[in-house]
Chains A and B, each alone.
Chain A
């Protein structure tokens, strides 16, 4: 198991190097470049030349890249050209929000998705089955910004039950220690702050969780359908095991293997920032920061965030593989 983990970690190195070259080259090939973005449309060629000189953008590309990698190894991804703060600081401030949102979205997707997928499979061909199949198609197809609009219209504007944007009400005077707002509220015993932060997760969490939910429903359904027809299930039934035992030990445990892979991959995906969801809900996570950075050609922030998120994604995948190994002994043999 340890060798397996180490091997996966070593594989990270070429992935990150390749990614850094791609990012570096691609961003610099964009029209306009950092000087135009920083100086605006009224900048003269002289202004741009001076800017490039001050920021070393006139140096050979290889030198620029070498400096970039050297600093990145020390976890220094430079400063954001928009906020002027260290990219690492920005990330640490933004990432907890994305983590909270991901957790909420995945709890929603798993909590609803697995039972629904199981039910659909067990009532194969019934109205529950067809509804959940059509529903999950819709869930994948509906654009997030439109869903966000509808959710906010219903629950924020018309009913007024839930907040429609942000991470916490501006009128709440909350103490932030870790930037995990719900956790901070619990730690500081500011219950109202924790409750408010949790409420702020609901609408973006549902909007974000819809796609994983749809995928989980379909995979659970397919997987359960496959497992119930296996010989060992028939054997278990035939030897007179209680239906509950068959369900829990034989069907669900085996059916959940492919589902756990999906959950892991989806969690990794959501952790890398939900650009659209965070932007339409003005939610201060890494996704909205990425969107700002793209609009402002904030090279340093884009490079830093994408590299860190790549690590997060690869590590999430590693954790999936490990959990898979724990669930299914056959995987460890390899």
Chain B
């Protein structure tokens, strides 16, 4: 393996220079690509998922089981470095961004063809962007194109909803120029999201990919998405046996990069966790996802390789700022000393060691360490019940009653057991001199509705990142939600210093320069303390002893083309 620079696609707005590092990364692939790999490897890799995919047009997908398959069939302009959330070149070898951050010029890879033989070029790139922007009717409904709407906003057909997308031009075969309506921290990271993978214009048109149907209660997907997904990736779609929950993809012999290590991959849907484990032990499958933390040791003892993903999520205790009308937040929380007392009361190390899987970390701020903008230089709040009691006494708030909301009937990667988490934190708060009044609600929709409306004094919630940009975490939580207030979940805290630090990061077109700005934002947030960060928790894949080359990704964006079965 070549040591790779941590940041392969760093764009410099000032120099407008195409990046030689990107070319370096691509040459890694070219050197060993092609024929040499054909003599080795081969065979079938059977992977167990927890559910069925929806269909295979990633523009209309939102779930992990679908994306796991589409990631092998399609490629985007950019991708992530294996095992990290950092950007890396894919169909674009490099890009330049204008000084105002509104124009991105991509130098496209040459000699790439889609699985149906169509050439990949700048026209194909623009065809895809125009396709997404011109979705209408059912395709533009939130159920269909959620990722476009979350990241690019509106469509040509919805002039009242602003869109980030301004246009795409193809001055020549290998240059695609994308223009935006405003500078945003989402760019270019969103281009690595699986929904924005480039698909074959020929196949999209031939199988009427946009003509979603629907009668009664649901969308009907198209022949394209169900039977003819066509990309440029290392594997081609072969078949989907829906009755048995089996998707088969086969090696793309014309792939531009390294030939895949196996001839065929079968994704099997096995909803029950115990069954997945036993099927791996029985040898019917070669690996599976979402290993139960309790199974780590058994599997490792049995000679299986447990591959934990770097934590890419955050669990926090939200606090109510009392700025939302109609909610009755505890006024004691307005005092920074009371919030600090809560932060010092929580025993993160115990939580990490007893309630979360191996590899979990205590959080000192709201982004995981893998994200640019994470810094050690924030104010930290160590576990110190005596300090909490002192702070409370100083604020004259000893014995303050906190209505503590926590969810039931749910398990999230960042919160495997909400009841147990509540027990520990509630005990911590009581030890520090608070009185806790528990409120438990079913996760969806009761709990989410209640905490998002600002009903709780304190509440447990978390977030899993979509891509490596700190704004995806801290901007989602603490940005100005209008009127100089944070969103209702945080009780509308008014924190101008946090808002300005976040806005500075979000509007910085140079990705390199964003890191330090986000560091400042993290410092401002941890000083203001609108909520208390608790932990980052990993999850894991497992593969059999004879499987090599699967690199766990913090974004669950594993590339299966490097997998070999010995």
Contacts A40-B62, A40-B146; A56 near B51 (Cβ below 8 A): no
Nearest B-chain residue to A64, judged by Cβ: B216
Contact B243 A79 (CB under 8 A): no
- Interface membership of chain B positions 139-162, coded 1 if the CB is closer than 8 angstroms to chain A and 0 otherwise: 001110010001000000000000
Point out the residues of chain B lying under 8 angstroms from A189, CB to CB.
none
Q: A32-B444, A179-B243 are in contact. Are A78 and B270 (CB under 8 A)?
A: no
Does B221 have its Cβ within 8 Å of any Cβ on chain A?
yes
B214 at the interface (CB under 8 A from A): yes
Closest to A56 in B: B216
| Smallest CB separation, B285 vs chain A (Å) | 9
Q: Is the CB of B216 within 8 A of A163?
A: no
Do A68 and B445 touch (CB < 8 A)? no
CB <8 Å contact, A171 and B44:
yes
Contacting A284 at CB < 8 Å: which of B46, B142, B226, B244?
A: B244
How many A-B pairs have beta carbons closer than 8 Å: the answer is 158
Contacting residues of chain A (163-179) with chain B, CB-CB under 8 angstroms: 163-171, 179
With A31-B446, A168-B244, A284-B245 as contacts: A78 and B216 at CB distance below 8 Å: yes
User: A51 near B143 (CB under 8 angstroms)?
Assistant: yes
* Cβ–Cβ contact B279 & A164, under 8 A: yes
Interface size class of A (residues with CB under 8 A): 35 or more
Closest A residue to B272 using CB positions: A280
Q: Which of B162-216 contact A (CB under 8 A)?
A: 213-216
Q: How far is it, in angstroms, between the C-alpha of A279 and the C-alpha of B245 when the chains are bound?
A: 12
- Minimal beta-carbon separation of A126 from chain B (angstroms): 38
Q: How far is the CA of A172 from the CA of B278 in the complex (A)?
A: 20
B368 to chain A, nearest CB (A): 19
Name A285's closest neighbour in chain B (CB-CB).
B243
B152 to chain A: closest CB distance in Å?
A: 15
Encode contact with B along A289-301: 1 for CB under 8 Å, 0 otherwise: 0011000001110
**Residue among A56, A57, A81, A291 with max Cβ neighbours from chain B (10 Å):** A81
Query: Which DSSP category, helix, strand, loop or mixed, fits chain B's interface?
Result: mixed
Docked-complex contact B284 and A165, CB < 8 angstroms: yes
B248-285, CB under 8 A of A: which get 1 and which 0? 10000000000000000010111110110011011110
- CB-CB under 8 A from A39, the residues of chain B are 142-143, 146
Q: Are B142 and A279 in contact (CB under 8 A)?
A: no
B270 touches A81 (CB 8 A): no
A43 to B446, CA, bound (A): 14
Q: Is the CB of B446 within 8 A of A84?
A: no
Neighbour of B274 across the interface among A31, A56, A93, A280, CB < 8 A = A280
A157 with B281, Cβ < 8 A, contacts A179-B243, A292-B52 known: yes
| A82 to B266 Cα, complex, angstroms | 21
Decide if A54 is an interface residue (CB 8 Å cutoff). Answer: yes
* B142, A51: Cβ atoms closer than 8 Å: yes
CA of A125 to CA of B271, assembled, Å: 45
* A97-B244 Cα distance, complex, nearest whole Å: 9
Q: Does A282 contact B (CB under 8 A)?
A: yes
- Known A31-B442, A39-B142, A170-B268: A282·B215 in contact at CB below 8 Å: no
Evaluate whether A156 and B284 lie within 8 angstroms (CB atoms) in the complex, with A31-B446, A84-B55, A170-B44 already known: yes
Within the complex, what minimum Cβ distance (angstroms) separates A180 from chain B?
11
CB–CB A82/B278 < 8 A: no
A55-B214, A168-B244, A282-B268 are known contacts. Are A43 and B278 too (CB-CB below 8 A)? Answer: no
What's the least CB distance linking B165 to chain A, in Å? Answer: 19
Which residue, B141, B268, B442, has most C-beta atoms of chain A within 10 A?
B141
For residue A62, give the distance in angstroms from its CB to the closest CB of chain B.
Answer: 15
A232 to B214, CA, bound (A): 66
B242 at the A/B interface (Cβ < 8 Å)? Answer: yes
B283 & A160 in contact (Cβ 8 Å cutoff) = yes
Closest residue to B270 on the A side, CB-wise? A282
User: Of residues 34 to 55 in A, which have CB atoms within 8 Å of B's CB atoms?
Assistant: 34-36, 38-43, 47, 50-51, 54-55
Residue of B nearest to A97 (CB): B243
User: Closest CB of chain A to B282's CB: distance in Å?
Assistant: 4
Q: A31-B445, A152-B282 are in contact. Are A82 and B54 (CB under 8 A)?
A: yes
Bound: A73/B226 CA distance, A: 27
Q: With CB as the reference atom, state the residue of chain A lying closest to B281.
A: A157
**What 4 A-B pairs come out closest when comparing CB atoms?**
A81-B218, A78-B216, A84-B221, A47-B142
What are 20 A-B pairs at a CB distance below 8 A?
A39-B146, A40-B146, A41-B444, A51-B142, A55-B218, A67-B216, A78-B217, A79-B213, A79-B215, A81-B217, A81-B219, A84-B219, A93-B243, A149-B274, A152-B278, A165-B270, A167-B244, A169-B284, A170-B246, A170-B266
Known: A156-B284, A164-B282. 12 other contacts (CB 8 A): A39-B143, A43-B142, A51-B143, A54-B214, A79-B217, A79-B219, A84-B218, A85-B221, A85-B226, A171-B46, A171-B266, A282-B272
